[in-house]
Homo-oligomer: A and B are copies of this chain.
């Protein structure tokens, strides 16, 4: 079922959909025979909602595939994450809330160390403090070339996002990082003729940077990797006829949401409760709300089972504020699994709950991995959740007579 097929069936409606994404939600038991983080968490509100919902497990990319945050989000947003790819450079720029546009080519930048003969001695410049990285970034921003704008945005320590803005820039470019020391940095080469202008500009920038940084050892050179243009994809308003809002604190999630045409709302404050307040404040202005919960993933990646349990319980405590708004459809899911026991993202399917007045409730009054196995959504591709949500929001008309 492709987008064109679905798009032709979309009809307007006065209904609202809320999608709560607990990042890295899926988990594993600490010990064989034990419970997962979600099964351990005390979640009376999620359990009560589960009893009135259809449950299932979503596969973000494919069987056995561990998704990054980009593909994980695109999938639950309804996009085939193998077809629609966000390049690493673009993701780095989105992560610092950079407003990436169609004339931009972005890359991941590193400060690095070079000896007097031009050979690399440290690919990360001794992980200089972020403050030093910021000062050097300011220096790099003094570089000017005709017909192009450069942007340098510090990420952390030696890392920065690098963006070139000009018409007609391709992103079929080689990286300058040789991935080892004792050799010189590589030049940027165009892999296709449409990227020759980009290669020339990037090399000129690097040359100027080398001169500016000459006396800044250990950060006396830069490396650029993962060149990527702004990925263009059909947006929520175009595809689904939805005025969509994103509520997320971290820039990368705001960025991915903006790529699919959501408006990233300003969150006053940094707590999860602040995100729920933002939802309430803008309730009348949008048809679709994506609300992102970060802490579940950071706890999982830190291997902190208990902190992940607490992060889930925090969502459960705030859930009644969403229910009080009476959305027509509520989705609770994740972009991927991040079991504390693995300390990383994982390939495991993600527990998913879909509530609406018109869903066939499974009558399973528990939201957890094993409860979801018994649910009527079954094990399904994450990208299939949005069409089902749209149907429940009565936004898809009949196909054929």
Q: Which residues of A contact B (CB under 8 A)?
A: 1, 5-6, 9, 28-29, 32-33, 36, 52, 57, 61-71, 81-82, 85-86, 88, 91, 339, 341-342, 344-349, 357-358, 360-363, 369-370, 373-380, 384-392, 396-401
Which of B64, B85, B345 has a CB less than 8 Å from the CB of A389? B64
For this chain, the copies found in one complex come to 2
Measured CA separation A60–B30 after assembly (Å): 34
Query: CB < 8 Å: which of B67, B341, B357, B389 contacts A399?
Result: B67
The CA of A81 and the CA of B399, in the complex, are separated in Å by 10
Q: A33-B361, A57-B376 are in contact. Are A70 and B347 (CB under 8 A)?
A: no
- Known interface pairs A33-B363, A81-B400, A86-B401; 10 further A-B residue pairs with C-beta atoms within 8 A, sorted by A's residue number: A36-B360, A63-B388, A64-B390, A65-B387, A66-B396, A67-B398, A71-B400, A85-B400, A88-B401, A342-B358
Known A36-B360, A380-B379; judge A399-B349 contact (CB<8 A): no
Instruction: Report the nearest B residue to A70, measured CB to CB.
Output: B400
Please, which residues of chain B bring their CB within 8 A of the CB of A52? Answer: 32-33
A348 contacts across to B, CB distance below 8 A: 360
Residues of B within 8 A of A380 (CB): 63, 379
In-complex Cβ contact of A387 among B1, B63, B67, B86 (8 A): B63
Are B379 and A369 in contact (CB-based, < 8 A)?
no
Beta-carbon contact of B379 and A65 below 8 Å: no
User: Known: A1-B82, A32-B52, A52-B32. Is A66-B398 also a contact (CB below 8 A)?
Assistant: yes
Instruction: Give the residues in chain B near A85, CB-CB below 8 Å.
Output: 400
Cβ–Cβ contact A373 & B370, under 8 A: no
Is B374 a contact partner of A363 (Cβ separation < 8 A)? no
CB-defined contacts of A349 to chain B, threshold 8 Å: 376
Contact (A398, B63) CB under 8 Å given A362-B373, A379-B377:
no
A205 CA to B345 CA in the complex, in Å? 61
Please name 22 pairs of A and B residues whose Cβ atoms are closer than 8 Å in the assembled complex, sorted by A.
Answer: A1-B65, A6-B65, A9-B65, A29-B361, A32-B52, A32-B361, A33-B52, A33-B363, A63-B384, A63-B385, A64-B388, A64-B391, A65-B399, A66-B391, A67-B398, A67-B400, A69-B401, A347-B388, A347-B396, A362-B370, A363-B370, A378-B379
